[in-house]
């Protein structure tokens, strides 16, 4: 079964006209979750692409990014929703189809010139 077919699509969530891709059906399936992590691991092990750290955006990025960080032997840096990090942060406001939100990263999480996979 292909990866895409393991992801549930929820119409009109969280707002009418939005097609929400719910990965909980993928990550609860041990075969599906392994498939996606193994596929991404192969992709980034074999590509002529170098990076130092994996950065993941809350919350789905933590799940996929954390597992990928482990399989590739890289560090992991979280980008969180506003107000969740305890130290000095950089922040970015972004627009959604249904509003706007803000994300934050610790100021000392990355160093100048560090290459990341987001």
| Positions marked catalytic | 60, 97
Residues 6+ apart with CB under 8 A from 77: 53, 54, 55, 56, 105, 106, 109, 110, 116
Number of H helices, E strands in the chain: 3, 7
Number of neighbouring beta carbons within 10 Å of residue 77: 18
Name the burial class of residue 55, with classes exposed (0-12), middle (13-18) and buried (19+) by CB atoms within 10 angstroms of its CB.
buried
């Amino acid at each position: 079964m292909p990866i895409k077919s393991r992801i549930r699509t929820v119409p009109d969530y969280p707002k009418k006209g939005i097609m929400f891709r719910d990965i909980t059906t993928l990550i609860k399936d041990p075969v599906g979750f392994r498939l996606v992590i193994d596929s991404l691991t192969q992709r980034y092990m074999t590509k002529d692409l170098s990076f130092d750290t994996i950065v993941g955006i809350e919350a789905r990025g933590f799940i996929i990014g954390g597992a990928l960080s482990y399989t590739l032997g890289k560090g992991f840096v979280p980008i969180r929703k506003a107000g969740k990090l305890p130290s000095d942060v950089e922040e970015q406001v972004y627009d959604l189809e249904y509003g706007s939100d803000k994300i934050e990263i610790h100021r000392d999480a990355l160093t100048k010139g560090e290459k990341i996979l987001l």
